[in-house]
Amino acid sequence: DAKTTQPTSMDCAEGRAANLPCNHSTISGNEYVYWYRQIHSQGPQYIIHGLKNNETNEMASLIITEDRKSSTLILPHATLRDTAVYYCIVRVATGGSYIPTFGRGTSLIVHP
Amino acid sequence: EAGVVQSPRYKIIEKKQPVAFWCNPISGHNTLYWYLQNLGQGPELLIRYENEEAVDDSQLPKDRFSAERLKGVDSTLKIQPAELGDSAVYLCASSLTTGDGYTFGSGTRLTVV
């Protein structure tokens, strides 16, 4: 089972880019990197996922290193509402039976 | 689309009492998950359903926990009897298939006193 390592906490100034790192050195070739976030008192929310190419959507960008052993989630212009716990997980995209574990994630605090 | 709906939102019970949580997944989502989340921790899988079949329940404490998903739609998770250590948030999630992205409900916060 591929596991991930994330910093326990980070902080960022409002309006600045928030760069959240994740190490997944044992990732397999068919495993994707997924990011979720959990705002206080809510369930986790899907953000983005990728295999090896960088990905961007309306919420964030995902940068995956060439060797796929680490990735960075980028929130380009962080707002106070981005304060949340961010989880990086690796999993097979479809048809797999492996259920990933979330770990403790990174607690991001965006301050004024 | 309503999303994954869970009820109740909060529940406070005395130890040794039974409690049940209900989950209505997104329409058409065949896979349903129940997760347990302790304070400061990430969600931990309790059980996964493919339609009405429980295909992964290895983390479910079967002496006191039970779950069902009749007709492959709604699901209930029950604890009987509840213990103080069961205080946590119980999250339900659903997806089209096992490998797809999850959509989580807001969870049920259980406090056992």
DSSP letters for A52-69: SS-EE-SS-EEEE-TTSS
- Kindly report, residue by residue over B45-67, the tens digit of the pLDDT: 899 998 999 988 888 999 999 99
- Kindly report, residue by residue over A92-108, the tens digit of the pLDDT: 655 555 566 788 899 99
Report the pLDDT value the prediction gives residue A87, as an integer from 0 to 100. Answer: 96
Q: Bigger pLDDT: B72 or A79?
A: A79
- The residues pairing with A110 across neighbouring beta strands, listed in sequence order, are A12
CB pairs under 8 A between A and B: 56
- Test the B interface: residue of A5, A92, A99, A104 with most B CBs within 10 Å: A99
Q: Are strands B5-7 and B19-24 parallel, antiparallel or unpaired?
A: antiparallel
Q: Chain B residues with CB inside 8 Å of A84's CB?
A: none
Q: Are strands B19-24 and B31-37 parallel, antiparallel or unpaired?
A: unpaired
Distance from B100 to chain A by nearest Cα, in Å?
A: 6
- What tokens appear for A54 in the block? 């960088």
Whether A2 has a pLDDT exceeding 60, the answer reads no
Rounded distance, CA B48 to CA B66, Å?
12
Per the CB < 8 Å rule, is B97 touching A94? yes
Rounded distance, CA B29 to CA B96, Å?
4
Per the CB < 8 Å rule, is B104 touching A44? yes
- Kindly report, residue by residue over B21-34, the tens digit of the pLDDT: 999 999 999 999 99
Report the pLDDT value the prediction gives residue A97, as an integer from 0 to 100. Answer: 58
**Considering only CA atoms, which of B95, B107, B108 is closest in space to residue B19?**
B108
Whether B38 has a pLDDT exceeding 90, the answer reads yes
